[in-house]
Amino acid sequence: MASQRDIEQVSLWSLAGAFLKLGTIAFGGPAAHIAFMEEEFVRRRHWLTQQEFLDRLGAANLIPGPSSTEMAIFIGQSLRGWAGLIVAGCCFILPAAILVTAIAAAYVRYGTLPQVGGILYAVKPVVIAVVLQALWKLAHSALKTIWLSAIGIVAVAAVLLGTDNLLVLAGAGLLAAGPVLVRKLSRAQISSAALVLFRPKTISALLIAGGSATAVPFTLWRLFLTFLKIGSVLFGSGYVLLAFLRSDFVLRLHWLTEKQLLDAVAIGQVTPGPVFTTATFIGYLLGGVPGAAVATLAIFLPGFLLVAASGPLLPKIRRSPLAGAALDGVIVGSLALMAVVTWQLGRAALVDPLTIAIACLSAVLLFAFRLNAAWLVLAAAIVGVFHGA
């Protein structure tokens, strides 16, 4: 349990070091990143309480942009204000951006992607164990009532049936707020609380512009505006990102081929840190190091601004019984999304006796001995190097 004394003692250097480490070892996509953060900041460092972490998880899932990066920004803001917001977000993004830029340089020179299959083969089972541990701990705090547990089951079923992620989150929030709403139906605060909690999702109504018949000349300014737009309106997984990137860079601007786009998304998926560093790869292909820097800044900038705007609202939401209940529902919906992603990742990662053994051993070391996940990722990467040799 975090205390005010603990929070006051968090230095920017400590915050930077923690997120630089996470940005270097956090493989596996947003669900895994959030699991790594829960282990690091709730259970190991005690910088946040479980409820504070869950509140920020719910908020990060309600605004467009990369949810795990926005979690990092929320955590930095809650610990050290504006300075922490910038330090945490930048330090989480930086290792992946540097790595992706190096890979892009090799890609431009040699025309192929470096082989990282062996490392990923062994690291993914560790990621499964880390996410399962986080889900267990977070669910224990989030499922406060039988009603919230029932909402969680319904949310998992809805995700498995292919329901849009935003609809799952909004539905879970409305169901959780239902009992409070019935008791306070006549109060004017209902409308204002709903606006505070759900207004960000209206951004998703924006549409990507249609295709263009001819290629558009490349400029860094146009690159910046294109990625700024994507970062401002994108909800969902890497597959949704692929659709947005294809619409703009292949069909409308004609700056990339289909193969280059798929390679860029693949690099974003397999490298540690935010999946949105796909933009870094594309920026380098189109404009070298300046292009990589511009693309990275543009796609992540909306997340910083949205967190800065919505972060101060969280205490107000918690003080409102209606909005607080809705946030509890959104948190349960977020955990449902994590659970389904973990199941899908597990089916792809646990493919033979060795990967199953790595996952089981990692789970034992995490649950029983609380071993730092960073050591497990490092050990698995070494196993993967020898396995792929």
- What are the tens digits of pLDDT across the range 146-183? 999 999 999 999 988 988 777 888 899 999 998 887 77
Which tens digit of pLDDT belongs to each residue from 350-370?
Answer: 889 999 999 999 999 988 887
From its phi and psi, is residue 288 left (phi > 0), alpha (psi between -120 and 50) or beta?
left
| Token code pair at residue 160 | 């498995």
Please tell me the distance from the alpha carbon of residue 281 to that of residue 105, in angstroms, as a whole number: 9
215-222 own/partner pairs: CB under 8 Å, 24+ apart: 215/253, 215/254, 215/255, 216/252, 216/253, 216/254, 216/255, 218/253, 218/255, 218/286, 218/287, 220/287, 220/290, 220/291, 220/294, 222/253
Which value, to the nearest 10 degrees, does the dihedral of the CA atoms of residues 54, 58, 61, 67 take?
-20
pLDDT of residue 131: 79
pLDDT of residue 7: 45
- Can you tell me which residue has the tokens 């910083």? 304
Full-model pTM = 0.71
- What residue type is assigned to position 156 of the chain? V
Sorted by sequence, the CB contacts under 8 Å of residue 206 that are 6+ apart come out as 232, 233
Q: Which helix (H) or strand (E) holds 84?
A: helix 67-110
226-231 own/partner pairs: CB under 8 Å, 24+ apart: 226/253, 226/298, 227/279, 227/283, 227/294, 227/295, 227/298, 227/299, 228/298, 228/299, 228/301, 228/302, 230/279, 230/299, 231/64, 231/65, 231/276, 231/298, 231/299, 231/300, 231/301, 231/302, 231/303
Q: Which helix (H) or strand (E) holds 186?
A: none
45: DSSP letter = S
For the chain, state the CA radius of gyration: 21
Question: SS3 for 244-293, per residue?
Answer: HHHHHHHHHCCCCCHHHHHHHHHHHHHCCCCHHHHHHHHHHHHHHHHHHH
Contact 380, 360 (CB under 8 A): no
Mean pLDDT, contiguous 10-residue spans, the chain (389 residues):
52 94 84 88 91 89 84 93 94 93 85 66 82 84 91 92 82 89 60 46 38 72 93 65 80 86 75 86 94 95 91 82 87 85 82 92 89 82 78
pLDDT of residue 214: 63
206: DSSP letter = -
pLDDT of residue 290: 96
Please tell me the distance from the alpha carbon of residue 9 to that of residue 211, in angstroms, as a whole number: 52
241: nearest Cα among 216, 202, 268: 268
pLDDT of residue 289: 95
pLDDT of residue 388: 63
| Token code pair at residue 84 | 């922490």
